[in-house]
């Protein structure tokens, strides 16, 4: 870093600045300098502030320097809009619109809604909406908004404004639905008497997953739901399978646990809320015997992380570790049945099918009584007396031709 003299591109006066880089780089920068001095800069800012109040363009709010910068950014956006890509704008419009409807429509209804919009919104209507959106966009009064969006492309910003205008003129029924939604969500909240946090854990069932949204970093909350096999997948999710059994019981169980730990929860289903209040739900069974898809002739024993059954499962004949459980060949069915009975393991549907198959195989097997089986001795062939026996020489000498 060094102090260098440069020439102002406006007033042509010399002024000093700090410049970085090697000597040759600084030399090139000085020769090609196009910056302006502080005095000219202040004059330009003052001119732009005056221009801002002239009424020729929507007035911006902010500090003088913010306004000057935002005016330049706005002018660049206007130039970009003259060459704006129509299809990109429409794509961004559809994306923002889809996110809007997703908040209160199911997946099937959302798809139907988007298909209907494609039929009703032709190119003429979309271009008309696009121009209105652009006019609205260029009337944004906040200088800091222009500054924050300076690196976003114009198509995305106009598409977003198109969606905001379109959704603002929805039917009263939609607005009514949103009001009702707010009321329903409010009455679905359950709070402990002494909450440890005011953040609400929103518990929902989505296809084959239980989803929990909790907009706060809290280690106690994290520890609880991880113990119930929830994994962070933006937000927290628990995969449902034969092992989780009734999804409503799983939602009631995690909801009840969170409430007991002092967390507020929201569950829309009134039946599940009733289960929590009355504690009328079945706890999750974590000891299972199943079948792995890549090993269809083996039983697979698994358990919860904190419930270590490894040493007991390994006592079964033929067992071997297959993370995170133990795998056992089907022929040791009797030992597996005894193990399941002693330690209260449940069988998955696939394991039940393999049990029936193993029993059928065992029934069909040919059984021979041991007393009827005689050991057959192996007989070695007799030696052949016709083979001549060579005499061992008493004296062994090396032939003269072979000597060194």
Q: What is the DSSP string of 133-172?
A: HHHHHTT--BHHHHHHTTTS-HHHHHHHHHHHHHHHT--H
Q: Name the burial class of residue 153, with classes exposed (0-12), middle (13-18) and buried (19+) by CB atoms within 10 angstroms of its CB.
A: middle
Confidence of residue 383 (pLDDT cuts 50, 70, 90): low
What confidence score (pLDDT) does residue 381 get?
63
pLDDT at residue 171 tops 60: no
CB atoms within 10 A of CB 363: 8
Nearest to 320 by CA among 328, 311, 332: 328
* DSSP label of 242: T
Distance CA 389, CA 229 (A): 81
Instruction: Say if residue 176's pLDDT is above 70.
Output: no
Burial of residue 280 (CB within 10 Å: 0-12, 13-18, 19+) is exposed
pLDDT at 119: 79
Kindly list the distances between the CA atom of residue 372 and the CA atoms of 314, 364, 368, 379, in Å, as whole numbers in the listed order: 36, 20, 8, 21
**pTM of the full structure:** 0.49
**Distances, alpha carbon 321 to alpha carbons 53, 315, 355, in Å:** 77, 12, 21
Q: What is the domain partition of the chain in residue ranges?
A: 2-59, 79-172, 188-278, 288-358
**pLDDT recorded at residue 310:** 92
The per-residue pLDDT for 371 is 64
pLDDT of residue 389: 66
**DSSP code string of 78-130:** HHHHHT--HHHHHHHHHHHHHHHHHTTS-HHHHHHHHHHHHHH--HHHHHHHH
Q: What is the DSSP letter of 285?
A: P
Compute the C-alpha angle 233/236/237, nearest 5°.
Answer: 80
Q: State how far the Cα of 208 lies from the Cα of 213, in Å rounded to an integer.
A: 16
Question: For 180-192, what is the mean pLDDT?
Answer: 87
Phi, psi of 107 (to 5 degrees): -60, -45
Q: Phi first, then psi: what are they for 55, rounded to 5°?
A: 90, 0
**pLDDT-wise least confident of 24-33, 108-117, 256-265, 330-339:** 108-117
Bridging pattern class, strands 288-292 and 346-347: parallel
**pLDDT(387) > 80:** no
H or E segment at 240?
none
Percentage of the residues of the chain whose pLDDT score is greater than 90? 38
Calpha distance 151→355 (Å, rounded)? 63
Distance CA 346, CA 339 (A): 11
DSSP 365: S
Alpha helices (H) along 195-235: 219-227
Phi, psi of 13 (to 5 degrees): -90, 150
């Amino acid at each position: 870093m060094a102090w260098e003299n440069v020439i102002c591109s406006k007033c042509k006066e010399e002024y000093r600045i700090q410049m970085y880089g090697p000597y040759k780089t600084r030399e090139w920068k000085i020769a090609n300098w196009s910056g302006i001095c502080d005095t000219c800069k202040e004059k330009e800012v003052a001119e732009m502030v005056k221009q801002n109040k002239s009424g020729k363009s929507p007035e911006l709010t902010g500090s003088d320097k913010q306004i000057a910068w935002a005016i330049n950014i706005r002018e660049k956006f206007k130039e970009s809009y003259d060459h704006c890509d129509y299809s990109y704008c429409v794509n961004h419009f559809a994306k923002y619109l889809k996110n809007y409807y997703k908040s209160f429509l199911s997946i099937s209804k959302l798809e139907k809604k988007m298909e209907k919009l494609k039929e009703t919104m032709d190119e003429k209507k979309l271009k008309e909406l696009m121009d209105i959106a652009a006019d609205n966009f260029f009337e944004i009064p906040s200088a800091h908004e222009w500054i924050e969006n300076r690196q976003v492309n114009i198509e995305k910003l106009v598409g977003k404004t198109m969606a905001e205008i379109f959704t603002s003129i929805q039917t009263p029924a939609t607005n009514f639905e949103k009001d009702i939604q707010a009321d329903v969500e409010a009455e679905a909240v359950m709070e402990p008497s002494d909450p440890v946090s005011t953040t609400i854990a929103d518990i929902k069932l989505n296809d084959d997953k239980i989803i929990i949204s909790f907009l706060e970093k809290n280690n106690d909350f994290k520890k609880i739901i991880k113990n119930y096999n929830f994994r962070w997948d933006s937000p927290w999710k628990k995969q449902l399978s034969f092992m989780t059994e009734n999804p409503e019981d799983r939602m009631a169980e995690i909801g009840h646990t969170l409430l007991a730990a002092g967390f507020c929860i929201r569950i829309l289903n009134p039946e599940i809320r009733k289960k929590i209040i009355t504690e009328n739900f079945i706890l999750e069974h974590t000891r299972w015997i199943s079948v792995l898809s890549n090993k269809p002739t083996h039983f697979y024993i698994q358990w919860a992380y904190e419930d270590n059954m490894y040493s007991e499962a390994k006592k079964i004949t033929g067992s071997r570790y297959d993370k995170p459980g133990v795998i056992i060949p089907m022929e040791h069915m009797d030992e597996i049945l005894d193990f399941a009975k002693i330690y209260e393991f449940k069988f998955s549907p696939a394991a039940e099918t393999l049990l029936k198959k193993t029993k059928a195989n065992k029934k069909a097997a040919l059984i021979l009584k041991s007393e009827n089986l005689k050991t057959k001795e192996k007989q070695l062939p007799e030696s052949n007396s016709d083979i001549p026996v060579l005499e061992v020489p008493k004296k062994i000498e090396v032939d003269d031709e072979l000597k060194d």
